[in-house]
Structure 1
Amino acid sequence: MLADATYVARRLFLLGEWDAALAVLDPDGDPELRAEIAVDHWFFQVERHDEAEKAVAALDPASSTAQLLTARLAYSRLLFDRDPRPDDRAVAEASYRAAAESGDELQRGWAVYHWGVLLDNIDEDSAGAVARYETALEIAAKHGDGFLESYIIRHLAHLQEPAEEIAMLRRSLHLRAALGARPQTVAAQATLAQALPEADPERAELIRTYLPAAAELRIGWLKPTD
């Protein structure tokens, strides 16, 4: 039964049905998955931060999952400017580094990727970010992790020439759609729309497609491009 509940929760998690995913989990079962869902919920909807922080606090603080999620919370407070704390920048980097050193190789890939995003979006350190993106991309390729790849190339794309940028954003979108990751697919549609010329019919179609989905999922940081 527990395995079934965990499977259902993971499928609902992919669909952006965060409340439903948490509801099917046993309150005392799989605290790491519960924390991952809660942090993802906060990140997409920019709501219920305290619940996410409480779920992370319930984990072994030395675990790579706790370190990665602690870093993501600190980073997102800075990114969204939602009650950022004086030590958030330092906590984020230290926790990403710890997660990269304490987890398995694939977990290291995710930690290094997120570390790159911190450097990219908060520090505007493109060189430092790219070095970490490339390391994470090697790990994603080695393990055949298309989900991780979809995140990395979405961030690498904006550093490319326009044609290559569009190609990478399309691949990120297709990878996410194939995995059934609905919130990430909607975000990828929005990013691709923003990168396309205003007169491109594909841009208009993407906007018509992603706006209702973003509204349904209540993605707090997706705005109309027109």
Structure 2
Amino acid sequence: MLTDATYTARRLHVLGEWDAALAALGPVTEPELRAEIAVDRWFFRIEGHEEAEKAVAALDPESPTAHLLTGRLAYSRLLFRHASRPDDRAVAEAAYRAAAESGAKSGDDTVRAWAEYHWAVLLDNIDEDPAGAVPRYERALEIATRSGDGYLESYIIRHLAPHRPPAERLAMLRRSLHLRAALGARPQTVAAQALLAEELPEDDPERAELVRAFRPGAEELRIGWLLSEN
């Protein structure tokens, strides 16, 4: 049974209220959840990297969560060109490989799917290797759809969409947006609105409406990369 603090922190996390979520947990409660929230705050706001790194370092280094979050930190430093380290590329891939192997060994398909997804994003966005990325996206998507995990699916199809023909691409981006909105995942919904707007023609009324919708949310949540790009 969830404690009140854990339930509150999880709900605040979904809403993008990362500072309040961490405060609700306190300094020692739910270390894996604390690390996930801290890494998400860093990724969306591009702030609090040191706290995120400390939270991940407090986990069992062999746990799947530690592997995934270690990979995400290394990847994001490369993506944002923020205090990147010479071994970040190798660290990210090793972490995702370890998480995928852990999921396969334990039979935890969710862990394996997240690892495959993040590995694909690394290949896609850092290496610019779609031939290597797409099969991993597709393996992760098969697990997500089979298990009915709409949250995971929303992430995968957001990144798989650019590799599809235009009509399918827009359909996938809309589905990603709808899945996130239905789950109440506010930061992810705002990001999905921004990406769909970017893909639509400049004179499309839907594009203008999406821009009007996402900008206030991005400003309120201080989503750094959305504010810098728009």
> Against the structure 1 CA distance between its residues 57 and 216, is the aligned structure 2 distance closer, same or farther, given a 3 Å change threshold?
same
Q: Cα deviation per residue 1:188-226 (whole Å; 9 max; x = unaligned)?
A: 000000000000000000000100110000000014877
Contact preservation (8 Å) 1:207, 1:224? no
Report whether the alignment pairs 1:123 with 2:127.
yes
Contact preservation (8 Å) 2:14, 2:185? yes
Report whether the alignment pairs 1:24 with 2:24.
yes
In structure 2, C-alpha distance between the alignment counterparts of 1:52 and 1:225, rounded to whole Å: 24
Contact preservation (8 Å) 2:219, 2:227? no
Contact preservation (8 Å) 2:190, 2:218? yes
Partner residue, 1:72: 72
Q: Which runs of 5+ in 1 are unaligned?
A: none
Contact preservation (8 Å) 1:61, 1:67? yes
Report whether the alignment pairs 1:185 with 2:172.
no
Q: Cα deviation per residue 1:47-97 (whole Å; 9 max; x = unaligned)?
A: 010000000000000000001000000000000000100000000000000
Partner residue, 1:57: 57
Q: Which runs of 5+ in 2 are unaligned?
A: none
> Against the structure 1 CA distance between its residues 68 and 170, is the aligned structure 2 distance closer, same or farther, given a 3 Å change threshold?
same
In structure 1, C-alpha distance between the alignment counterparts of 2:2 and 2:194, rounded to whole Å: 36
In structure 2, C-alpha distance between the alignment counterparts of 1:128 and 1:78, rounded to whole Å: 18
CA shift at 1:27, angstroms?
Answer: 2.1
With 185-194 and 4-13 compared, the bigger mean Cα shift is at 4-13
Partner residue, 2:174: 170
Partner residue, 2:164: 160
Percent identity for Structure 1 against Structure 2: 75
What amino acid is aligned across from residue 128 of structure 1 in structure 2?
Answer: G
What amino acid is aligned across from residue 84 of structure 1 in structure 2?
Answer: S
In structure 1, C-alpha distance between the alignment counterparts of 2:100 and 2:216, rounded to whole Å: 37
Contact preservation (8 Å) 1:159, 1:165? yes
In structure 1, C-alpha distance between the alignment counterparts of 2:131 and 2:227, rounded to whole Å: 29
- Aligned-residue CA RMSD (Å): 1.3
Q: Secondary structure at the match of 2:226?
A: coil
In structure 2, C-alpha distance between the alignment counterparts of 1:158 and 1:89, rounded to whole Å: 23
Report whether the alignment pairs 1:106 with 2:110.
yes
What amino acid is aligned across from residue 214 of structure 2 in structure 1?
Answer: Y
In structure 1, C-alpha distance between the alignment counterparts of 2:173 and 2:224, rounded to whole Å: 21
In structure 2, C-alpha distance between the alignment counterparts of 1:28 and 1:45, rounded to whole Å: 23
What amino acid is aligned across from residue 123 of structure 1 in structure 2?
Answer: D
Contact preservation (8 Å) 1:194, 1:225? no
Q: Secondary structure at the match of 2:203?
A: coil
TM-score by length of 1: 0.97
**What is the aligned residue count?**
226
Q: Cα deviation per residue 1:18-48 (whole Å; 9 max; x = unaligned)?
A: 0110111132221000000000000000001
With 176-185 and 17-26 compared, the bigger mean Cα shift is at 17-26
In structure 2, C-alpha distance between the alignment counterparts of 1:219 and 1:26, rounded to whole Å: 24
In structure 1, C-alpha distance between the alignment counterparts of 2:88 and 2:28, rounded to whole Å: 29
Task: Map 1:115-154 to 2 at 5 A.
Answer: 115-154=119-158
TM-score by length of 2: 0.96
